[in-house]
A and B are shown apart, each in its own frame.
Chain A
Amino acid sequence: MAAHAAHAHTVKRYKGLMDWLTTVDHKKIGILYMIAGLFFFLIGGLEAIMIRIQLMKPMNDFVSGDTFNELITMHGTTMIFLAAMPLLFALMNAVIPLQIGARDVAFPFLNSLGFWTFFFGGVLLNLSWFAGTVPDAGWTSYVPLAGPNYNSNHGVDYYVIGLQIAGIGTLLGGINFMATIINMRAPGLSFMRLPMFTWAIFITSALIVFAFPVLTVGLVALMFDRLFHANFFEIGNGGSEVLWEHIFWVFGHPEVYILIVPAFGVISEVVSTFSRKRLFGYSSMVFATVLIAFLGFMVWAHHMFTTGLGPVANGLFSIATMLIAVPTGVKIFNWLFTLWGGSIRFTTANLFAIGFIPTFVMGGVTGVMLASAPADFQYHDSYFVVAHFHYVIVGGLIFGIFAGLHYWWPKMFGRMLNETIGKITFWTFFIGFHMTFLIQHFLGLLGMPRRVYTYLDGQGFNNMNLISTVGAFLMGIGTIAFLLNIFITWSKPRNAAADAWEDGRSLEWSIPSPPPEYNFQQLPLVRGYDAWWKEKMEGKTAMTPAEPIGSIHMPSPSILPLIMSIGLFIAGFGFMYDHLIVGGVGLLITFGCMIVRSVFDDHGFHIEPEDQEVHA
């Protein structure tokens, strides 16, 4: 006991709002990511609905061409960077430490900093609506349209600086989860025993670490062009427009896999759990995912077949892109054969996972079609492409996120979501989704370019666009049903069991729902793949502990991440509006916090055994 007393520090705890602003607990940060992600998902969804209303009939004047371009730019940017990514981070935070038997992530302070920089980057980007100058050059922001000569107001500045700040958060998250998964695994949990979701997040984190710096560099260059009259992309002064396309897609294509690989992980967990079967072909799944991620860096120029890179480049990138279909196919068949011979239970989570499989296959096959460069000359920048990437991102990633949220909801909040409302959510969203996007393939083939704010009558586009719009409203209803589900079940008592679905396989289901702040009172000893399932099958009711009960070391909460992010937020505005003093003050706040953090050591605190919750 004397040893304990020697390094015991005062227990720092905050209550209420202050608790949420200062938390470094991965479970709470996961919830923060989820709330922010859902908030931005609603904004992006509203933008989508407005886009579809405008395109409902030919020569509609619901919004002008200018506003429409703002809507598509903000819809794409918001959905990818501010909705999809944080919702993935929500699942990562909520689940990964639990799945690897850890008490938190490797760098809890960094985790909090990552959330707040993402959040303030997103807020900054969306404040452009109130400033009246909204980014309008597409989420790809191709120069020169996004450059200072053709976009002289502050619109694209919000895009550049908002994404730059949000990107810091993503990069920190990637580093953190890579370190966490490498270093914090429970005793016995070797790499080839990791749950598939953990593998997916490990690979995703590696993708983030290699891809996001490219975006950072590109955004810095564009920022210099816009704010300080540099000439990276100014053709008249020796810059290159095609350079931006390369930079953007060298980041942008891995980004697609950053989005979809976690969904692969979610589907693997959900399908395996609800068919009561071990994941079929686990090791081939792991290698397929690694291969997809690796090839993901080799195919960026398939977004640029019509840029004029020449036949050699187009040929190579065509073949490289097609190759990705092979490991992806391996995954699809592994999922199908996980279901094969299983005992399949149709929960909402599983419906989304099963709906994912055929939907993602359809998005995947159109991907192979697009990979054929000569045919892509017809598909490129038409509605065919719009249909394709929505099949992959909504039909893949969003289905995966919905599956994951329904599946891990009891673990995150201790409450089950209502299954009836869940099924309404699934069917309206699923039918609405196919109604919106299947038809868009044909719109593209019939000659409708993408990003058009309107179309002339008499081109054969009218009916298909109307059907697509109706589908979009159905998806909106599905989303509302999901929100209602959250609110309705919120009033119910917290009664979810530890193993909420009874067929849980990985470590998170061996601890209470929601887990105590230290997750595992004693770190578990992992004896094989599907660690918790293995123990259950041998008649055990708990994991074998790998350590005696003792004092648990916890990180202290801190307000510094929030203040650092606010500093960056202020600095962003300062630079954007040419008030260098404001910019300087913002940076000073951020660096000041960094100095405070570096100079004053905080060793955290301990939770002694007598203060730990007692579990039966």
Chain B
Amino acid sequence: MKRLIPLLTGLVLLLSGCGREDLSTLNPQGPVAEKQLDLMKLSIGIMALVVVVVFAICIYVLIRFRRRKGDKSIPKQVEGNHTLEIIWTVIPLVLLLILGVPTIKDVFGLAKDYSKDKDAVQVKVTAHQYWWEFEYTDYGITTAQELIVPTDKKISFELVGADVKHSFWIPSIGGKMDTNPGVTNRMYLEFPKEGVFRGKCAELCGPSHALMDFKAKAVSEASFQRWVTAMKAPAVMPADKDLAEKFTSQCLSCHAVGENGSNSAPNLTGVGGRQTIGGILYNDAEGGAEKNIHDWVTDPQKYKSGAMMPSAEDNSLTDADVSAIAKYLAGYKLDY
């Protein structure tokens, strides 16, 4: 019984569908995760049956056949039983067939390639130590850390790793796929509900692997089109000319805003409107995006050890510069 209780509580937890709506595989928010949960439920059901049978026999045997004190009798030495042995070979085979058929169906179903589909949104995901780059190849725009997708279309992903191997995972939307350096993987996901979903890196990629989070934000089609337009609009540079110069020379050598800069570091267009800074500093906390950007720019290593970005000091930025940049970036929001 002691062993059964946690198992039963576990099953109850499972059936009630628990965990955060934006994170749990048990609380699917899209058809891909739903299909996967259906398979999980089917396999858990079959396996629970097996576990219950084994536990029942085990407990019965242990109670019924325990040795009494001083018992010197020799039990009958049974060699085996062909009928029984056939039963416990055939029944598992049947159970596996029940699980195997939908497995194969979904293996092929979920591997469907939408990369040539005109109706699907094409997104190229490039995983870096420790951030995510999202390139919308049909629209010619690139963003980072926050994937924006329309609710009514399939999203066809092209996945690749820029340095080491990472793995792209949005648990409540669908299972993961690795981003291999040098090899392109494909998968598709659907986001029928509006909302922000948590994404994670699922493959050990270095000291800050645990902190390589991203967000997937599903918005209506109209809103998505507005976002695309806003992304393509000319960059909003800092109003102050000196600051703009400093920002260009010190930040845009790696980052980009709009058409300016390069994409070897996260694209910062509209960064003030994102949920987090660096994937892990939440902007709804006290101080908001401005404080988070200030903290981050001052010393990125403090928040993500192994990040490529230099500290403010190494980047010859004074605290006043950092504050001004933080204020500017926190105010840089896209209207969509």
Contact = CB atoms under 8 A, between A and B. Distances in A.
A232 interface: no
Interface in A299-319: 306-308, 310-311, 314-315, 318-319
Task: Tell me if A's interface is mostly helix, strand, loop or mixed.
Answer: helix
A447 B165 contact: no
Contacts, number: 301
Interface string B180-221: 111101100000000000101111111111110100000000
Contacts of A535: none
A362 B83 CA distance: 25
Nearest to A357: B58
Interface in A259-306: 275-278, 280-284, 306
A501 to B, nearest CB: 12
B50 interface: yes
Contacts of B141: none
A333 to B, nearest CB: 4
Contact of A337 (B67, B71, B84, B159): B84
Contacts of A452: 209-210
Given A380-B176, A447-B20, A365 B50 contact: yes
Contacts of A275: 65, 75
B178 interface: yes
B181 A65 contact: no
A460 B88 contact: no
A546 to B, nearest CB: 24
A306 B18 contact: no
B107 A318 contact: yes
B40 A378 contact: yes
A57 to B, nearest CB: 14
A145 B198 CA distance: 25
Interface stretch (A103-111, A235-243, A509-517): A235-243
B204 A308 contact: no
B56 to A, nearest CB: 10
For chain A, the bracket of interface size reads 35 or more
A368 interface: yes
Contacts of B165: 142, 144-145, 241
A280 B183 contact: no
For chain B, the bracket of interface size reads 35 or more
B19 A460 contact: yes
Contacts of B314: none
A445 B16 CA distance: 13
Interface stretch (A41-49, A126-134, A434-442): A434-442
Contact of A378 (B62, B92, B171): B171
A368 B276 CA distance: 38
A217 B264 CA distance: 36
A343 B57 contact: no
A322 B96 contact: yes
Interface in A64-110: 64-66, 68-69
Interface of A: 64-66, 68-69, 136-138, 142, 144-145, 150, 235, 240-242, 275-278, 280-284, 306-308, 310-311, 314-315, 318-319, 322-323, 325-326, 329-330, 332-334, 336-337, 339-346, 354, 357-358, 361-362, 365-366, 368-369, 371-378, 380-382, 431, 434, 438-439, 441-442, 445-447, 449-456, 459-460, 537
Given A136-B207, A276-B75, 5 more contacts: A315-B108, A339-B65, A372-B40, A374-B106, A454-B211
Listed from nearest, the 3 A-B pairs whose CB atoms lie closest are A377-B175, A452-B210, A65-B207
